[in-house]
Copies of this chain bind each other. A is one copy, B any other.
């Protein structure tokens, strides 16, 4: 998949500004992930500056991880502005399914905004889809490869977006094609905000390619960086530091050597 390597180089040449309206837990780690990779993060959520900030950003990431009544209007306003300006919007429905507020908020944003990529784990995407008239809902926590493929495809069709269902294998679909990415490492689940970081990294790649390939590029690059990190530091604290190191060090050559990306027609 040559486009992943090429997008990495393009990203570093353009140094895109990615605006994140994200949760408190991961603001620092998200910013560091974007910086290490070669993008520029900005975290800005004030109602009075959204118009200006979205207009200078190359992509908007909305992550509902610590949503509340003050942040939801900000997320919605930013998504509206970005839609109007045709900027790519990446939505991370953190915890959808765990509470109605989360599922409802994710669905509302999916409804009125033009979401480029919806990135979540199996349970989150299933919850969002289940609440939207499908049978598969919050209960289906068990992960199954075929189910994840179906889910990715169905979410993409239902919401007219690219959906990225991440897990042991990541499935990314636009409803017609599916990419399976087998990079990454289980140690990522022992560090907070790694899913959120991958979402924002997809945001950065959305500045240099169309949504489907941007999502595949982001997840592949992040996954390889995690693999390299684990090879040097097999425990979560030092592993986390090494993930940043490898987001900085990864280059086209490493992508060609390590990428495990397969494409299927549906």
Contact = CB atoms under 8 A, between A and B. Distances in A.
Interface of A: 23-29, 31-32, 35-36, 41-49, 52-53, 56, 65-70, 74, 95, 98-102, 189-193, 235-238, 240-246, 248-249
Contacts of A29: 28
A236 B240 contact: no
Contacts of A236: 32, 35-36, 244-245, 248
Nearest to A72: B46
A66 B71 CA distance: 12
A28 B25 contact: yes
A240 B244 contact: yes
B235 A245 contact: yes
B241 A240 contact: yes
Contact of A28 (B26, B43, B68, B248): B26
A243 B240 CA distance: 12
Given A238-B241, A243-B237, A191 B32 contact: yes
Contacts of A245: 235-238
18 contacts: A24-B43, A25-B27, A28-B28, A28-B29, A31-B192, A32-B237, A44-B98, A46-B68, A46-B101, A47-B68, A52-B100, A68-B74, A235-B245, A236-B248, A237-B242, A237-B245, A237-B248, A240-B244
Contacts of A100: 49, 52
Given A32-B237, A237-B244, A66 B49 contact: no
A236 to B, nearest CB: 5
A67 B74 CA distance: 13
A120 to B, nearest CB: 15
A101 B45 CA distance: 12
A44 B23 CA distance: 10
Given A32-B192, A41-B192, A48-B99, 16 more contacts: A23-B43, A25-B28, A32-B240, A35-B189, A36-B190, A44-B98, A46-B69, A53-B98, A53-B99, A56-B98, A68-B74, A190-B248, A235-B249, A236-B244, A236-B248, A237-B242
A53 B94 CA distance: 13
A139 B221 CA distance: 34
Contacts of A70: 68, 70
A122 to B, nearest CB: 16
Nearest to A249: B235
